[in-house]
Every structure is written in structure tokens, then in C-alpha cells.
Chains A and B, each alone.
Chain A
């Protein structure tokens, strides 16, 4: 764990993307489903996952999208990135979704579909085998 941007304690199944996510235009804010055909997570639901991706990209208005998906109860439990960008940081802060950054090695080691626990108070990110 490199940085804690928004603190929290959760446990859930990883949904991982090796491509960045532009929340404005890639994620349907009503359903929480990735709606961009070109995105590797196309048709996947982010609801109640631990969303792992390199970073956010695109307009800062995307932060409102993160707030909306939380208001619509289709948000991830937490987000984990390699690089903290302002859109995802402020979006998660608004929506109170835990957000941390991790190293490249940690990013590589987290596989899609595994179960992980995150507790920012004790700086623990652990993988359930």
C-alpha cells in the first residue's frame, strides 16, 4: 500500500482492468456496468467489487459519475490504483469509497476474481487464498 486517499475497511472480490478507466462515458451510472465497447471490462458490473485499475483518465466531471454510482447503489466497495489521479480521488472522497494506491509489483500480484481484504487503519491489504 503506497498511499491512503480515502480510508475504510472492506472485503470483496477483485475486478481488475489493466487499462485505465474514464468514469465519464465508460461506466453507466445507473447500472454500474462498463458500457464502453472498447474497454476490456465491457459489460462487467463494478457493483460491490474491489475495482483494481492503473488510474483514472479524462474529465474531472467523472468524479460526479463516481458520486452517482454510489448514490445509485451500484458502486464498487473500494478502488485500488497504481497512480492517484484527481478525478478518481475526489470522486471516491465525495462518495466515501475507500481508495488506495499500490506499487507496480503489488498491482501485478492482484489477479482478477480473487478475494482480498483492505483495512486502511492498520495499512493491511491481504489476499485470501
Chain B
């Protein structure tokens, strides 16, 4: 990698230990991803927030780094483990809560906006076309590259934090013009958000850094989020390019058979003990739609609804939250289905969800079985 004189000096430690570590991370990441230089970024979005995933080592690192590290660009961050407003309703031990609050405090000390959301593209204004950002959350990186005309690597928790501190990120392949060598042709008729989630999951397994994708109808926000979430779960790929690609690309169909294979891989139960909605977290449009779907109906089992705090506050003002709580929903801000410590296999055998991303992590991290259904089907089967 070519570094400027100032960058070299920071890497040698002449601007302090924190800057040195941040540059060491950016250089190591840049070398690993064949970047030739560092470029300025305008927005960083961090992962590595949930104590459930980063553990004591992460908590200690952040506590130490936050003593003198400060972010130099707009920086937002991923969900944490719980919603402080209702954490006492769940079986979380004191240690978890205090360590999580320490992590929250470290990020706030560094100047990070406490958004605790995996959908930054939905709750913050999108910068102008082509703006370079550094997003660590996989669904957000894919959404930024594919739908928002932004440019980001699929950053790690560390390269995003280093980018936030330095204000620069490696100029790697995803930031350059990309020509995928694979085109996935969507062949499934009448798709719902579950179908798009499975399509994303399938594409993520096949693509390396980006894939072409053709045959898509007009997609709503729920469907595009599902596709980004699915893709971020299954591989390293971090960009959809909408179109057929040129004649040199390998064409692969996603039809009923491929979809069934993904379904069989992730759907491991006939029914769930509880329902989770939100992975990625739900935005205001989805909350509005859910409220409408639940009009005059109530869930017959627990239903956990995950959303960003800003969306919860807006939904409260409009009256959606009262309506959702009447229908039996548990409303959880600042956290997400993905890697939640609030669902334990000690109490729950299986979870019903419409999220492919949620399904993958519920199965692999929480160790519970998953019953996959579209939201429409969930409302039909689980409410009266």
C-alpha cells in the first residue's frame, strides 16, 4: 500500500498509540483486501456493540481505547443486547447488563452517535451519490452499495472503528467499479420478503464481492432489507448490481428448487414458541404496515418486535406502539433478533420469524430451532 508521509508517521506511532493502532488496522485490512491506498470517508457505521458477541475481550479493548480515541467523522453504531427500558422483564444477569453499559459508555465517550441500529440507511439522511462510507454491519453495507449509491467495503468491526478514528478507509475492490462474474436470475413467482431473504442468502453463497441480479420486480423496503440481510449472512459478497450482466458472466437460476434447498437448510421446526420480527430492525413503514395488519387482532403467543429507538419514538407519537402492545407485541428498542441474548434455548425450543438473517443466527448462535414464515402468514396463523 502507498501511504502518505503523514500516514507513515502515524503508523510509526508519532501521533500516539491510538492512532498507531488505528493505522495498523487500516493497513492490515488494506493489504488483506488489495487496497493500494487509504481514502477519506464521510460516515462510519460500527459493529461490535453487543456484549453477547464481543464478550469481555471486546469490552476491555473498548474501555481502554476510549480513554483517548475520538471519532473524527459522523459515526453510528449497531444494536446492543437489550432495551434498557424493559431489560428487567428478561432473564439477563447483572454482569451482562453492566458490561453492556460499559460498552455503550465507551462508544459514547469516543463521540459515536448512540443509534444502536442495524438500519442506518433508513434512519439517517443518505449522503450524495458516490459518497465513500465505512459500514461494518453487513446488511447495511450491502444496502448502502446496492440501493443508496454509497460506496463501502464490507468492513470488520475493527476496520470500521479505525476508519471512524482516522477518517479514512482502505480503497478496496468494493469501492472501485465492480464487474461481477455471476448473474443470478430470479425465477420464483409471487415472491414475498421470505423469498427475497432466501434469494439474498443464495446469492451471498455464490458471489465473491458482488453479484448481478436480474428478474426482480419492484421491491418494497421490507423486501430489499430482507435480501440484504440474507446476503450478509451467507458470505463475503456485499453488493447487488441490478441487471443481467454481459455475455461473459455465468448465469445461474434461482428457482423453486434452489429456494427449497435454502428453506430446508434454515427452517428446522414446524412451529415456534414465540415470534420475532425485525432482523434487520423494523423501520417506520414496516411498523405502520404491521399495525394495520394487526387491526382488531391479537397474537396468541409472545411476539418480540425489534426496532431502532428513533423509530420507536416516532411510532409512539403516531400511536402505533399502543396499538402493537394491545395486540400483544413486546416492543424492543436498541437491540435486534440477530444475536439477541434475550432468547435462550433453556426456555425456548423454536422461534417463528420472517427473517432469513434472524433464522441463521437464532439457529447457530442461540441454538434454537426456527420456523420460517412470511409476515402475512404469521399474522394469519398466529393472531385471532
A residues touching B (Cβ–Cβ < 8 Å)?
3-6, 29, 60-61, 63-65, 67-68, 71, 84-87, 89-90, 92-94, 96, 99
Main secondary structure of the interface of B (DSSP, over half): helix
Contacts of A93 in B (CB 8 A): 21, 24-25, 27-29, 158
Question: Is the beta-carbon distance between B31 and A89 smaller than 8 angstroms?
Answer: yes
CA distance A5 to B157 in the complex (A): 18
Segment with Cβ contacts to A, from B57-65, B119-127, B303-311: B57-65
Of chain B, the residue at the smallest CB distance from A59 is: B53
CA distance A64 to B156 in the complex (A): 12
Question: Is the beta-carbon distance between B61 and A5 smaller than 8 angstroms?
Answer: no
Main secondary structure of the interface of A (DSSP, over half): helix
For residue B354, CB closer than 8 A to chain A, the reply is: no
* A60: min CB distance to chain B, Å: 5
Contacts of A3 in B (CB 8 A): 31-32
* B7: min CB distance to chain A, Å: 14
For residue B54, CB closer than 8 A to chain A, the reply is: yes
User: Given A86-B156, A90-B159, are A64 and B31 also a contact pair (CB < 8 Å)?
Assistant: no
Q: How large is the interface on B (under 10, 10 to 19, 20 to 34, 35 or more residues)?
A: 20 to 34
A selection of 24 A-B contacts at a CB cut-off of 8 Å is A6-B27, A60-B158, A61-B53, A61-B58, A63-B156, A64-B54, A64-B57, A64-B58, A68-B56, A68-B57, A71-B60, A84-B32, A86-B29, A86-B33, A86-B156, A90-B28, A90-B158, A93-B24, A93-B28, A93-B158, A94-B21, A94-B24, A94-B61, A99-B28
Question: Is the beta-carbon distance between A84 and B31 smaller than 8 angstroms?
Answer: yes
Contacts of B191 in A (CB 8 A): none
* A64: min CB distance to chain B, Å: 4
* B299: min CB distance to chain A, Å: 33
Can you add 7 more A-B contacts, CB < 8 Å, to A61-B58, A68-B56, A86-B156?
A: A4-B31, A5-B31, A61-B53, A87-B156, A90-B29, A96-B21, A96-B24
* B363: min CB distance to chain A, Å: 15
Contacts of B57 in A (CB 8 A): 29, 64-65, 67-68, 71
* A88: min CB distance to chain B, Å: 8
Contacts of B31 in A (CB 8 A): 3-5, 84, 89
For residue B55, CB closer than 8 A to chain A, the reply is: yes
Partner of A6, one of B28, B61, B157: B28
* A33: min CB distance to chain B, Å: 17
* B36: min CB distance to chain A, Å: 12
What mask results when residues 10 to 39 of chain B are scored 1 for a CB within 8 Å of chain A, else 0? 000000000001001101110111000000
Of chain A, the residue at the smallest CB distance from B64 is: A71
Of chain A, the residue at the smallest CB distance from B136 is: A60
Contacts of B157 in A (CB 8 A): 60, 63
Among A5, A29, A86, A92, the one with the most B-chain Cβ atoms within 10 Å of its Cβ is: A86
Contacts of B56 in A (CB 8 A): 68
Contacts of A4 in B (CB 8 A): 31
Contacts of B28 in A (CB 8 A): 5-6, 84, 89-90, 92-93, 99
CA distance A87 to B158 in the complex (A): 9
User: Given A4-B31, A85-B32, A87-B156, are A94 and B25 also a contact pair (CB < 8 Å)?
Assistant: yes
Minimum-distance CB pairs A-B, first 4: A84-B32, A93-B28, A90-B158, A64-B57
Contacts of A84 in B (CB 8 A): 28, 31-32
Question: Is the beta-carbon distance between B21 and A61 smaller than 8 angstroms?
Answer: no
Of chain B, the residue at the smallest CB distance from A88 is: B32
Partner of A64, one of B29, B33, B61, B159: B61
Residues of B37-79 contacting chain A, CB below 8 A: 53-58, 60-61
Of chain A, the residue at the smallest CB distance from B61 is: A67
Of chain A, the residue at the smallest CB distance from B11 is: A7
Question: Is the beta-carbon distance between B32 and A86 smaller than 8 angstroms?
Answer: yes
Question: Is the beta-carbon distance between B27 and A63 smaller than 8 angstroms?
Answer: no
Of chain A, the residue at the smallest CB distance from B56 is: A68
* A80: min CB distance to chain B, Å: 14
* A22: min CB distance to chain B, Å: 14
